[in-house]
Copies of this chain bind each other. A is one copy, B any other.
């Protein structure tokens, strides 16, 4: 049984800030957003969690192993170094979609994302140490087969990207609806999903669905662990096994 701890990270009142007093230079917004994401990756990653950039103004993290105090430190550090602040809400559950749903609700109850008086919320609960197990996190690392040979080196960069985006959009929606999983594009031709206890045939189903709907060929490595870093690293090793053996699905 998995038990994911999911954190929603929301930049406070960001929309209005981007246009006050005048629209701000896009390159600066891009820099701000991507560096904030990079910092969160390091701070949460330093405690073996994972963060996904998602919309950049709303990011999703898997934080098994991080306490609320650990969250508070991240929040304080962002507040000290950026012109914007972040709110964090945490929820847990066997179903990652439900956990994110609960985390979202907590934040919504505290006020609108564009309420300028709702700032630096830190709410929710983490998994008690005694209930943590070595199977709490299942992570699946999806990858497009021979993207380089078939696309990157062959068609123009935008059509390659459309191909990946199509695969990603279909995978993310299907994994969410059919398999209660949260899937995130992580660059290149890779998608990482946070899943409940899925089986080999669930992954087969998802890969087949994407192949049939949008003709994108995927392989997937799956890992499970106490913390995201362990599950994710196992998933990467499993993916290397796919590469070595030509198989489509591997569990480490």
Binds B, one of A119-127, A129-137, A201-209, A230-238: A230-238
Taken together, the copies of this chain in the complex come to 4
A56 at the interface (CB under 8 A from B): yes
Instruction: Give the residues from 162 to 217 in chain A that come closer than 8 angstroms, CB to CB, to chain B.
Output: 162, 164-166, 168-169, 172-173, 176, 182, 186-189, 192
For A24, list chain B residues within 8 Å (CB).
Answer: 80
**A37: nearest residue on chain B (CB-CB)?**
B34
Q: Which of B19, B57, B82, B188 contacts A187 (CB 8 A)?
A: B57
For A155, list chain B residues within 8 Å (CB).
Answer: 104
A1 at the interface (CB under 8 A from B): no
Q: Which of B27, B100, B153 contacts A156 (CB 8 A)?
A: B100
Alpha-carbon distance A20/B112, docked complex (angstroms): 27
Contact A53 B34 (CB under 8 A): yes
A102: shortest Cβ distance to chain B, in Å?
A: 8
For A23, list chain B residues within 8 Å (CB).
Answer: 233, 236-237, 239-240
Contact B15 A188 (CB under 8 A): yes
A94 at the interface (CB under 8 A from B): no
For A156, list chain B residues within 8 Å (CB).
Answer: 97, 100-101, 104-105
5 contacts between A and B (CB under 8 A): A15-B188, A29-B186, A55-B189, A104-B157, A105-B156
